[in-house]
Structure 1
Amino acid sequence: MSPSGHRSILIVGAGTTGLTAALELARRGFRPRVVDRDAGPVPLVESRALGVNARTLTLLSPSRVSDAILQEAHQLKRFRIVSKNRTLVSLDTTRIPGAYGALYALAQGHTERLLIGALSNYEVAPEWKTSVEKLSLDAAKPHVTLRKHDGSEEVASFDIVVAADGAHSAVRRAIGFGFPGDALESSFYLADFRYTRDIDPNFAEINLVDPGMIGRLPVERDVLRYISTLADFESRIVHPAPVAERVWASDFRIHFRHVEAMAKGSVFLAGDAAHIHSPAGARGMNLGIEDACWLAWLISEGREAEYSSLRMPAVMTVLKQTRQLTSMITMHNPLSITLRDLVVPVLFRIPAFSQELLRGVSGYDTPSPPWIDGAQ
């Protein structure tokens, strides 16, 4: 172990971002401590995030987690946007250079469990039902009060604290960071249905019903997720097979928010603790994993002070893309809808345009990881 490996590191949050940070640090000789206020990983049937992109698979290849993901995931080979029974966009997502396809479908709960399994190889395990009660930057090191599952408190100092504790981050609030941004006025709704037989898991589709949309995403071979801006969307679904059960349903509002800087002193923010945005393009979980990998590498290089300046441009790139995609599928103005339906098919017939969008979906529109040879 290198001398830097002796630095004490606390990771707050054991979702995909926090677990990835722990894994990337552990395989570089560090022994991070990971805490999470929940009782365990996200339930398998309640996973909001589904998409795993090519950039994430590249980043997780040194730890071999990408191999495990590919064994369980379904590749999304086609993506369609349909309006009034007319196909506006038909994108072949396999037409991207590199070792991986652009996007794969795997529920977040599965991904978290694969990360936990890989982390156990380094004898590191999340401490569940453990939360941050206080954090102070007054001393030379971040001073943290932890409340454990039995109600007892532990006070400790750490060389580095990584906040991966989600959109309502306690660490972000403790260091006095705001979370400016805005939310869409309308709510989004989702429901997962299990069918009596397997369905095609290799394509995703957005059906524009103007105003509003209904999206279809594969979860498993016999489970589809529908996501919509319409409260009554379930009555509009054309199911591809007899329904066995309605597995899960939820609703949410889309926010576009980000911190002004992703670090303060020795406290670093990653994933939803630093930025949240629309699920359009499936960038949320993937961007958090990217944050975690970059931060772990920078810590190992003694360059963690560069983290915020290196990551903020990538965050702004993704927020811009997801806002544009969301605007395209949530239009209400009839004139704008007509114009969109005329222009979008023309744009996608331009190879450079469709390839650029595909690069974004793949996650290749942000800087390549310099520690992985041949990465795009």
Structure 2
Amino acid sequence: MAPGHRSILIAGAGATGLAAALELARRGFHPRIVDSDAGPVPLIESRALGVNARTLTLLAPSRVTDAILQEAQQIARFRVVSKGRRLADLDTTTIAGPYSALHALAQGHTERLLVGKLSDYEVVPEWETSIVSVSDDRSKPRVTLRKADGSVESASFDIVIGADGAHSTVRKAIGIGFPGEALESSFYLADFRYSQPVDSHFAEISLVDPGMIGRLPLERYVLRYISTLPDFETRIQHPAPIAERVWASNFRVHFRHVDTMSRGNVFLAGDAAHIHSPAGARGMNLGIEDACWLAWLISEGREAEYTALRMPAVQTVLKQTRQLTSLITMRNPLAIAIRNLAVPVLFRLPAFSQRLLHGVSGYDTPPPPWIDGAL
């Protein structure tokens, strides 16, 4: 069977699933993509914001990168402050390559750009369509779908991709475990729209000791604040008059990943395979990276190598995000004091700052071999 004629079902039309569908489509496949939701994530309820340089590299061949750069806010600097004293100030534009380390764009915007480009290949997500079951036939899994009108469809596919999130039905159906742990503390976030433009070109972490408040740009008029403190909104120093409190939420941070990212011809990508702290803005980016690698491997007939090629990258990112999370959630006064003394020294070391920037850019995972000159 010619590669492009293989039948492929993608479960989940978030950023990961959409990226997988787009990369497959531009290689001559015509995948089906289904999602239990009614559409992309609401624009004002996007948890993921950061789009790193690796993702921009991966999405450049499909021209999605051009659209992202038109809408996104470049995060040119990353700052760490404590009690009014600036501990670190990192210029994120110094990274080698065609893109700066990080841009900010709400996940809902990124997903809509992917949906738009996917329509060029006449692939349209089937919304309000959920996975009921996946058979244990490893060579040609049979999937039962429930559609928006309540009808049920059962069909076999050459390949099934589970990009259906942390509570993945596909992962559970094929019996792959999701070991790991949750942090004891919760994280809280709130988005504020201001009555005038604010400086949206830097991200900042204010160490409250214990705890932190992070400031992240969403748009020229909108900032996101994220914190480990339930009362953090009373501590925010707003840069301009507030026009609207757009959205607020809270969540627990989990560190989990599967032991294998495939079983037979069923593959897992994104949050279905790994979840971790938002520190470092790696979540959505790592899922898109999974999707692009898997699409390339399928087109090469090498999909059996997927777990071996992706698992080291997953482990690298989980290790990095765990370390960053530990630094911002410290509660021991002595450890906090040592950290606050060490951070300014470390950031003045070129080797340290470049290594951190390398990770934030997504360049600490293997470069895509199908893109010439990729870092």
| TM-score interval for Structure 1 and Structure 2 normalised by the shorter chain | over 0.9
Counterpart-to-counterpart distance in 1, 2:145 and 2:285: 28
Give the aligned partner of residue 40 of structure 2. 41
- The SS at the match of 2:133 is strand
Deviation at 1:184, TM superposition (A): 0.6
Aligned to 2:220: 221
Map of 1:52 onto structure 2: 51
Partners of 2:5 and 2:83 in 1: how far apart?
A: 60
Deviation at 1:198, TM superposition (A): 0.5
Determine helix, strand or coil for the equivalent of 1:10.
Answer: strand
- Alpha-carbon distance between aligned partners in 1 of 2:133 and 2:63, rounded to the nearest angstrom: 36
SS at match of 1:184: strand
Q: Does 1:348 align with 2:347?
A: yes
Unaligned segments of structure 1, at least 5 residues = none
**SS of the residue aligned with 2:69?**
helix
What residue in structure 1 maps to residue 232 of structure 2? 233
Is 2:3 the partner of 1:4? Answer: yes
Shift of 1:140: 3.8
CA distance in 1, matches of 2:209, 2:169: 39
Aligned length: 375
CA distance in 1: counterparts of 2:268 and 2:343, whole angstroms:
37
1:211-360 alignment to 2 at 5 Å? Answer: 211-360=210-359
- 2:46 equivalent to 1:16: no
What corresponds to 1:138 in structure 2?
A: 137
- Measure, in 1, the Cα distance between the counterparts of 2:257 and 2:137: 25
Q: Residues 192-211 of structure 1: CA distance to partner in whole angstroms, max 9, x if unpaired? A: 00000000110000000011
Distance 1:283 1:19 in 2: 17
**Superposition pairs for residues 109-188 of structure 1, below 5 Å?**
109-138=108-137, 140-188=139-187
Deviations 1:81-103 (A, max 9, x none): 11122211110000101100000
Aligned residue identity for 2:154: V
Of 342-351 and 310-319, more deviation after overlay is shown by: 342-351
Which structure 2 segments of 5+ residues have no match?
Answer: none
Question: How far apart are the structure 2 equivalents of 1:96 and 1:226?
Answer: 26
Percentage of pairs with the same residue: 78
Contact 2:211 2:329 survives alignment (8 Å)? yes
Q: What is the alpha-carbon distance in structure 2 between the residues aligned to residue 251 and residue 140 of structure 1? A: 41
Question: Residue 281 of structure 1: SS of its match in structure 2?
Answer: coil
Q: Distance in 1 between matches of 2:288 and 2:36?
A: 20
Letter of the structure 2 residue corresponding to residue 48 of structure 1: R
Distance change >3 Å, CA 283–CA 38, structure 1 → 2: same
Structure 1 CA distance, aligned partners of 2:320 and 2:126? 36
Structure-2 separation of matches of 1:97 and 1:149: 47
User: Amino acid of the residue matched to residue 322 of structure 2?
Assistant: R
Report the 3-state secondary structure (helix = DSSP H, G, I; strand = E; otherwise coil) of the residue aligned with 1:127: coil
1:139 Cα offset (Å): 6.5
Measure the CA separation in 2 of the matches of 1:182 and 1:3. Answer: 43
- The residue type equivalent to 1:85 in the other structure is G
Whether the 8 Å contact between 2:139 and 2:265 is mirrored in structure 1 is no
One-letter amino acid of the structure 1 residue matched with residue 178 of structure 2? F
Counterpart amino acid of 2:18?
L
- Residue 78 of structure 1, CA deviation: 0.4
| Superposed displacement of residue 3, structure 1 | 1.4
SS at 1:337's partner residue?
helix
**1:138 offset after TM fit, Å?**
3.2
Equivalence map 1:83-102=2 (5 Å) = 83-102=82-101
* Runs of 4 or more consecutive aligned structure 1 residues displaced over 6 Å after TM superposition: none
Quote the RMSD (CA, aligned, Å). Answer: 0.8
- CA offsets per residue over residues 204-258 of structure 1, 9 Å max, x none? 0000001110000011110000000111000110100000010000000000000
Task: Decide whether the 8 Å contact of 2:138 with 2:265 is kept in 1.
Answer: no
The whole-number CA distance in structure 2 between the counterparts of 1:3 and 1:173 is: 30
Distance 1:134 1:122, change over 3 A: same
Task: Give the AA of the match of 1:147.
Answer: R
Shift of 1:346: 1.0
| Counterpart Cα distance in 2 of 1:328 and 1:4 | 47
Give the distance between the partners of 1:359 and 1:140, measured in 2 at CA.
Answer: 39
Instruction: Work out the CA distance in 2 between the residues paired with 1:8 and 1:120.
Output: 18
Q: Work out the CA distance in 1 between the residues paired with 2:305 and 2:256.
A: 22
Q: Deviations over 1:244-275 (max 9, x none)?
A: 01000000000000000100000000000000
AA aligned opposite 2:30: R
Distance 1:186 1:25 in 2: 39
**SS at 1:128's partner residue?**
coil
Query: How far apart in 1 are the matches of 2:84 and 2:194?
Result: 24
Q: By how many angstroms is 1:348 displaced?
A: 1.2
- Which secondary structure state, in structure 1, belongs to the residue aligned with residue 346 of structure 2? helix
